[in-house]
Amino acid sequence: MKKILIVDKNRESRLYLRTMLEEYAHDTRKKFVIYETDNGNEAVMMSDHENYDMVFIDVEISEMESAKATELIREKNSKAMIVVVSDSKDPEIRSRILRSGAEDYIKKPLDTDLFYSRLDNYTALIKSRRLHLSIHEGHNLYGDATYGRTISYFIKEYDVLAEFWEYYLLETQETRTLTDACRRCNVGKSILNSHQASTRLSDTVRAIYDISIQALNINVTPHIWIEESDKNIYFTIEGLSQINPDRIRAILNKIPELNTYIFDHYKVTILIPREKVDLCKVEIPSDPKKSSETIIMTETPKSEIQPQVVAETSLEPVVENQIFYYMDEEDLEDIKENLSRLNTLLLMVGSGDIRYDEVEEIAYYLDRIGKSASIYSESYPIARSLGELSSTINNNVQTFIDKSSSLGLFCKTFGLDLTHWLQMIFYDGAPSVNFMDDTIISNAQMVGNMLCVNESPSESIDMDDIFDF
């Protein structure tokens, strides 16, 4: 259930916006609780008592200037999605409200398709903001605590499933995933070069893909979650209650490498260990109250480990995470504010309705974050990559719009990585001050290269080469 506040001096405008929100909620089977006021002071007071998920505010309101009301509401609720809805043609008014904390601006009269598309983006972003950025209980059936970085795919159609497949099975993405895993858990080269770990990842993705195909074929929309802990990666697929359990078991059992998973009647979690262990397939009797199959992992007793294996897995000392305090509070707050607005815009990439001015704003916020980070030597490598990406986007705005459908996944992942870097370095703790530098820099270069690549037939990438591995 999402709480929405409409702030508009005109009663007819409030009624029209309420009607559109209610129709959207009905069509998408979402539940909205909608509040209204024409008064800026009252809107601020209402925000003291309710944490609104979305606030739609017009330029013309009573008692208080809209920009001031926006600023005060933002101070009370940093996670609210504040959207200006107005027929004002004054660009200075728009700029002032956006600087005060609003994250988007929609012109009146509202275009139904555009507004509904934006609501899709707003609700998705609100959902992502609700995910804790620190240690939290995950979606996996093991009940294990996982890192705040959680990747999810809501499989509404085959294209989304294709994105999941490509992200985890293309060689470059697979290598990066394993590299990140090794860096965070300090296992070192032993698992990075492990053919077994790579094979298990591929088999897991293929199994989840096959299960999702079964779901889509009967018009079921499953949800995939990928979570990480210090020892394991968890792939969970849920929403399977309408699928024959025997079909799911057949998919899981036909791949012998998938020997660590939990399955119940609507959900499967496959566990990929990050450390070298011997895996035993052990059947746990089903709980009568919860029909499930459980297969657990056991570790080889230390007495049975050969000396050379111990040497292989002890290449690097364990490094404890630490919080870094090198950045001034004012600069850190600027980065947080600009990153929040940047993520809002990045979420819209790939939606099919990204505008010229919104692409320019993406470049602007990248530049702002880069400038704040460039003051410090510790974050200068990231700052430089953000500045270069900002310049590339500014020089290729129309290309960005034309390629937005293919850029969508990369931009969303890029924003999540920046958020994860900020949270771990300055709040939760990271293994080093350069945590995630390589990932962020390479992702920025990837997006920039996609804008600059010459797609003439003579220079295009041979697809046969991509899948030749």
Q: Ramachandran region of residue 30, left (φ > 0), alpha (ψ -120 to 50) or beta?
A: beta
160-192 tens-digit pLDDT: 888 888 777 654 344 444 444 444 444 333 333
pLDDT of residue 423: 86
Integer Cα distance of 221 and 216 in angstroms: 6
Of 3.40.50.12710, 3.40.50.620, 3.40.190.10, 3.40.50.2300, which CATH number belongs to 2-130? 3.40.50.2300
Q: Are 61 and 32 in contact (CB under 8 A)?
A: no
Strand partners, 104: 83
Q: Ramachandran region of residue 330, left (φ > 0), alpha (ψ -120 to 50) or beta?
A: alpha
pLDDT of residue 149: 59
Widest pairwise Cα distance in the chain: 78
- Residue 236 has phi, psi (to 5 degrees) of -120, 135
Q: Are 122 and 144 in contact (CB under 8 A)?
A: no
Instruction: Give the sheet arrangement for strand 267-273, strand by strand.
Output: 151-154, 223-228, 232-238, 267-273, 261-264, 292-295, 283-284
Q: Which two tokens stand for residue 355?
A: 């505008």
> Distance between the two ends of the chain, CA-based, in angstroms?
46
Looking at residue 18, its amino acid is R
Q: Are 417 and 342 in contact (CB under 8 A)?
A: no
pLDDT of residue 382: 93
Is the pTM higher than 0.85? no
Integer Cα distance of 260 and 270 in angstroms: 6
R_g of the chain computed on alpha carbons: 24
pLDDT of residue 244: 86
Other CB atoms within 10 Å distance of the CB of residue 424:
23
pLDDT of residue 169: 66
pLDDT of residue 366: 94
pLDDT of residue 359: 92
Q: CA 104: distance to chain centroid?
A: 19
Q: Are 195 and 261 in contact (CB under 8 A)?
A: no
Q: CA 443: distance to chain centroid?
A: 14
pLDDT of residue 124: 77
- In tens digits, the chain (469 residues) has pLDDT values of 789 999 999 999 999 999 999 999 999 888 899 999 999 999 999 988 888 999 999 988 888 888 899 989 988 887 788 999 988 877 777 778 878 888 888 888 888 888 888 888 888 777 766 554 333 456 788 876 666 556 778 787 888 888 888 777 654 344 444 444 444 444 333 333 344 556 778 888 888 988 998 888 888 888 888 887 767 888 999 888 788 888 888 888 877 666 688 887 678 999 888 654 333 333 333 443 333 444 433 333 333 333 333 333 333 444 567 888 889 888 898 898 889 889 888 878 877 678 888 899 999 999 999 999 998 888 999 999 999 999 999 999 999 998 888 888 788 888 888 988 988 899 888 888 888 888 888 888 888 888 886 544 333 333 333 333 2
Q: Which of 272, 251, 297, 260 is nearest to 168 (CA)?
A: 272
Integer Cα distance of 344 and 59 in angstroms: 21
What residue ranges of the chain are covered by domains with CATH 3.40.50.2300? 2-130
Q: Are 63 and 70 in contact (CB under 8 A)?
A: no
